[in-house]
Structures are given as C-alpha cells and as structure tokens.
C-alpha cells in the first residue's frame, strides 16, 4: 500500500502537468528541410540557405535532426546513412532573394569561436549519432543569437543547413560506401574537377553530391524523397542569460597555417604483432591553444564507425571531458547494428571545469584498428562560458532543480503549498515503507 501511495503521489506531482517539467519559457518548433532525392547507392550533399529558424534575440537551448521520408517515417542508417548535418549562421542582404545565396561573396558567415577558421564553422553538427545525442544547454546558459546590435546595416541574420546523406540500399560494400572509399565511387577528381591525390583512399573528396557507390549487379529499387527533420528549442534572451561560446576542436589540427584542420583522417589496420599484444587501437593526439578561457558547461565528441571514444585534457593533465560512442544492435531507426547511434556528453557542474586564457589542451581520439577505416573524424564540441560572474538567482516564487536539465517551476502560493505538502507525504510514506520492511539504510542513487 505504501508503495502504491508513493507512486500515486509521485505521478500526481511530476506527471500531472508535463509542461511543468520543462524550463519556463522554452519554445520548441520542428521543421523540415527542402526535399532531397536518393536512388540506391547515391549521395546527396545539399546546402540549403535561409532555412526556417526561430527569429529574434534568443538563446538556443538545443538542436537535433534525423532523416525521414515523405510520410514522416524515420529512415534507418543501413538504408540512408547520415554522414552529417551542419547548421551555420550568416548575414544575408535584406534585398537578396532568400535561398539563392550560393555566391558566398554576397553573404557574411558568422562562424563559431574556433579553432578551425576555414572549416568547421558550424554552430551545430552531428551524424549517425544524431537520434541519441543530447544537445541541451543547461540553464542559465544559452547560445545567444539574433542580437540586432550585432547585425551589419542592410543585412539580416539567416541560417543555412548542410545535409550529407548516402543511400546504401543494394550496395556491394555498405561500410566502404559510408566511409567514402574512392574505388567504390569510381572517381578520380573531386567535385571541383581537381585530381584526387594517388594515396587518398577515401573520404569527403570521393562522395560528393550525386556521386554513386557501387551496387550489386541487377539491384533496383525506388528513388526516395527524403527530408532532414530538425527540432529547435530556445528561450527569449534576458539579462540573466549567460552566453556561451561554441568551440569545435579537431584532432587533425596542426596548429599552424590558414588551413590547419584536415577534418578527416585514415585508420590503418592493426598488424599481427599489435593484435597479439592487445593494442589494436589507433590513437590520434593533438595539442591546441585556447585563445580564451572560461567554464566548460557542455562537451561531446563526433566519431564514425569504429570510433572508441575521445577525451580532452587540460595543460596540467587533468581530465576535462570524455565522450564515448554507443553502438546499436538492431535494425530499427536509432538502434542500427554496428553503427554509432549516440555519443555520451559532459555536463560539468557549473564552475567546476575551467580553462585559462591561452591554455594548451590535449585532444585524443581513439578508433579500433581491427580493420582499415577511411574518412573518419575526431572532433570535439565544447561550450564555454567566458565570463566569471555569480549566477543570478531565480525570480521569486520559483522552485528550482539542478540536474542535467536544470530548470525552475514558477508557483503560486496555492500551488507551492500543494507541492510542499505532496513532498512531505512522499517522505512520510517512504519512511513508513522502509520501517515496515526493516530497512537499515537508504540506497544512494547517483546520476553520472
């Protein structure tokens, strides 16, 4: 009876109004990209300018997406592999025709805070892991955009979306197609007509828009009409919002030259000696100088199939963040066997993980070397709050909870009284339950 009472009270307080569980003022909207069409084995690498996106001076809280068909059915990775989607911010001329902005000389790209100035300028970007990777920015932080004082005269803020998807229905080598092996695409020049170097085995240069991966002889199927379905969460900007800077770190970053980030690299297959010694892991390491410091409030890595995790360390060797891939074991969308379907994230307690101005960080990316992998990535995305200031307290009549999703509930005197009474009843019922069953101690529960 006591157990049932606890469950009833808990359900009433926490599930009676699910909207109350959301941070106050969070708005959510879901959009569809323009359609793209894929035949078996075909590649789509599309850029869509001026996509539907929330307007105004706002703080972004999350962004995520997935590939769906025209009936809103999620498409599994073993049919359409989502190599990546990217969202970039830019300023477009007010008089220009929205969407016809492929001439980059007419727009102003608003890139993230670094460190790769000529590549990886996106604010958000994921791949196969998109369905099960958290992108939530905890309160009181947010990625602040839309400030009218920052927009140049004659321009307006807009957003562009890049979707890179590979149809692997009927292909001879599904992994090879998703890793963009050049021999499977039968290409010798890149999308700009430049000859691909002889020792380049596979990667982005070989699987550009409308290229075709090798199919099994005689295989035929329909052309699919697909979309990237994306969901944005945001709040209106207010003075208590703490802005964060977006940094994308790349394990191929050489630290020198204008094009210092190579973005992708190749993993060699282990030799027999390495296998015998149990060291069949390819480890790439780079050292990066952060121009500005602050508090890390979120971190996540991006890896491809074969990825075994990534870690970020401070200059003194302290661990700042780790991110580990999870692999699926089924066929349904979000649980596809042998694909990375999620990446673990870091949510340090605010103020607990700091980096200094000019600090040198070490980024490590691990891949399995049981077989060769081409075109893999070792990126690390962190959000940094640069200003050190006391976090503003909640407004009056608010009850706040600090966890992964930090949030507050605004309560009237009446609602607050009911809430406190409910919590009291739960406490009494719980204590009674344990006494009746002669419990000697409580089991502590912790959330990693």
Q: What is the DSSP string of 6-64?
A: HHHHHHHHHHSSGGGGSPTT-EEEEEEPPPEEE-TTBEEEEEE-S-----SSEEEEEEE
253 near 115, Cβ under 8 Å?
Answer: yes
Phi, psi of 241 (to 5 degrees): -70, 130
391 near 243, Cβ under 8 Å?
Answer: no
| Token duo for residue 363 | 């980024």
pLDDT reported for residue 258: 72
Distance CA 306, CA 266 (A): 11
pLDDT reported for residue 22: 58
The residues pairing with 328 across neighbouring beta strands, listed in sequence order, are 337
**Cα-trace Rg, the chain:** 24
Phi, psi of 102 (to 5 degrees): -70, -20
pLDDT reported for residue 256: 83
Angle at 136 between CA 71 and CA 8, to 5 degrees: 85
pLDDT reported for residue 330: 98
pLDDT reported for residue 438: 37
Q: What's the predicted TM-score (pTM) here?
A: 0.82
pLDDT reported for residue 106: 82
Does residue 115 have a cis bond before it (omega within 30 degrees)? Answer: yes
Q: Where are the beta strands (DSSP E) in 149-279?
A: 155-167, 224-236, 242-243, 245-250, 265-267
The residues pairing with 246 across neighbouring beta strands, listed in sequence order, are 383
Q: How would you class 144 by CB atoms within 10 Å of its CB: exposed for 0-12, middle for 13-18, buried for 19 or more?
A: middle
Q: Are strands 281-289 and 345-346 parallel, antiparallel or unpaired?
A: unpaired
pLDDT reported for residue 46: 98
137 near 63, Cβ under 8 Å?
Answer: no
pLDDT in tens, the chain (448 residues): 443 334 333 333 333 333 334 577 999 999 999 999 999 999 999 999 999 999 999 999 999 999 999 999 999 999 999 999 999 999 999 988 766 676 677 899 999 998 998 899 999 999 999 999 999 999 999 999 999 999 999 999 999 999 999 999 999 999 999 999 999 999 999 999 999 999 999 999 999 999 999 999 999 999 999 999 999 999 999 999 999 999 999 999 998 877 789 999 999 999 988 888 877 999 999 999 999 999 999 999 999 999 999 999 999 999 999 999 999 999 999 999 999 999 999 999 999 999 999 999 999 999 999 999 999 999 999 999 996 544 445 544 444 444 444 444 444 444 444 444 554 444 444 334 333 333 333 233 233 3
> Is residue 320 left, alpha or beta, with left meaning phi > 0 and alpha meaning psi from -120 to 50?
alpha
pLDDT reported for residue 98: 67
384 near 296, Cβ under 8 Å?
Answer: yes
pLDDT reported for residue 255: 86
Distance CA 306, CA 371 (A): 9
DSSP characters for 415-442?
A: HHHHHHHHHHHHHHHHHHHHHHTT--SP
Distance CA 195, CA 203 (A): 14
């Amino acid at each position: 009876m006591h157990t049932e009472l606890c469950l009833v009270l808990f359900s009433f307080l926490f599930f009676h109004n699910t909207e109350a569980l959301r941070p106050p003022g969070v708005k959510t909207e879901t959009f569809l990209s323009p359609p793209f069409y894929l035949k078996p084995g075909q590649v789509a690498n599309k850029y869509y300018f001026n996509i539907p996106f929330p307007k105004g001076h706002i703080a972004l809280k999350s962004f995520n997406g997935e590939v769906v068909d025209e009936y809103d059915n999620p498409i599994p990775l073993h049919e359409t592999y989502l190599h990546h989607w990217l969202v970039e911010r830019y300023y477009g001329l007010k008089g220009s025709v929205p969407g016809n902005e492929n001439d980059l000389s007419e727009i102003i790209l608003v890139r993230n805070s670094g460190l790769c100035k000529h590549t990886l300028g996106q604010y958000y970007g994921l791949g196969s892991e998109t369905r099960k990777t958290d992108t939530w920015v905890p309160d009181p932080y947010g990625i602040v955009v839309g400030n009218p004082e920052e927009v140049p005269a004659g321009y307006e803020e807009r957003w562009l979306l890049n979707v890179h998807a590979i149809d692997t229905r009927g292909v001879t080598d599904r992994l090879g197609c998703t890793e963009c092996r050049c021999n499977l695409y039968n290409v010798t020049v890149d999308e700009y007509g430049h000859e691909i170097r002889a020792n380049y085995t596979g990667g982005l240069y070989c699987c550009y828009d409308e290229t075709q991966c090798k199919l099994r002889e005689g295989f035929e199927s329909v052309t699919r009409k697909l979309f990237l379905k994306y969901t944005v969460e945001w709040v209106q900007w207010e003075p208590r919002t703490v802005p964060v800077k977006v940094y994308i770190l790349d394990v191929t970053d050489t630290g020198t030259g204008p094009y210092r980030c190579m973005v992708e690299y190749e993993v060699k297959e282990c030799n027999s000696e390495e296998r015998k010694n149990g060291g069949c892991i390819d480890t790439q390491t780079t050292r990066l100088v952060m121009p500005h410091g602050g508090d890390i409030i979120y971190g996540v890595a991006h890896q491809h199939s074969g990825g075994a995790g990534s870690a970020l360390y401070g200059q003194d060797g302290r661990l700042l963040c780790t991110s580990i891939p999870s692999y699926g074991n089924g066929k349904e969308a979000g649980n596809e066997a042998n694909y990375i379907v999620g990446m673990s994230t870091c949510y340090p307690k605010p103020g607990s993980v700091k980096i200094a101005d000019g600090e040198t960080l070490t980024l490590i990316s691990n891949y399995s070397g049981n077989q060769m992998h081409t075109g893999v990535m070792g990126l690390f995305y962190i959000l940094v709050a640069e200003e050190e200031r006391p976090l503003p307290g909640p407004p009056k009549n608010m009850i706040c909870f600090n966890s992964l999703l930090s949030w507050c509930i605004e309560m009237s005197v009446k609602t607050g009284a009911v809430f406190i009474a409910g919590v009291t009843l739960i406490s009494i019922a719980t204590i009674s339950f344990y006494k009746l069953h002669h419990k000697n101690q409580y089991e502590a529960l912790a959330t990693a």
